[in-house]
């Protein structure tokens, strides 16, 4: 279960590893863990998040990949302020449907620049998309 905090409307708001991220809350992203340079998030795909082929729209997948890598970076540094994406490259390998699980991993944690990767997994454990990204710590 993900932690929640009240927002200005006294509605429960998901805490994304200590940050309030309204867009991820709107999508229903579930933050599972972020520790030691690794993270895991999930999303139950809703019809409004699909494209004309009834599979996950690419922007939704890229959002999850970006957040998983950013969370992994924050956890590697125990950095509470968040990180900024410098660049990201994404490959779509097969359609994503159903429950989407995304795992992020820091490949190299530097003082300012961090190199990461993330994969999207389907219910069968197959990789449906992958990304690599470069992130910097927010100051």
Q: Which CATH class is domain 13-137?
A: alpha beta
The reported pTM is 0.89
pLDDT tens, residue by residue, 112-133: 899 999 999 998 999 999 999 9
H helix or E strand, kind and range, residue 108 = strand 99-109
d(CA 33, CA 65): 14
* 8 Å CB contact between 138 and 77: no
The lowest-confidence range among 6-15, 41-50, 58-67, 109-118 is 6-15
């Amino acid at each position: 279960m993900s932690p929640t905090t009240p927002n200005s409307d006294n509605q429960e708001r998901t805490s994304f590893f200590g940050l309030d991220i309204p867009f991820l809350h709107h999508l229903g992203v579930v933050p599972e863990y972020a520790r030691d340079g690794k993270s895991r998030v999930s999303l139950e795909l809703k019809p409004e998040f699909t494209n004309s082929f009834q599979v996950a729209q690419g922007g939704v997948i890229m959002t999850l990949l970006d957040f998983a890598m950013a969370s992994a970076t924050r956890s590697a540094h125990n950095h509470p302020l968040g990180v900024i994406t410098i660049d990201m490259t994404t490959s779509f390998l097969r359609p994503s449907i159903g429950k989407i699980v995304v795992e992020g991993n820091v490949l190299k944690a530097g003082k300012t620049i961090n190199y990461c990767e993330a994969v999207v997994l389907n219910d069968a454990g197959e990789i449906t998309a992958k990304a690599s990204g470069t992130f910097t710590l927010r100051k």
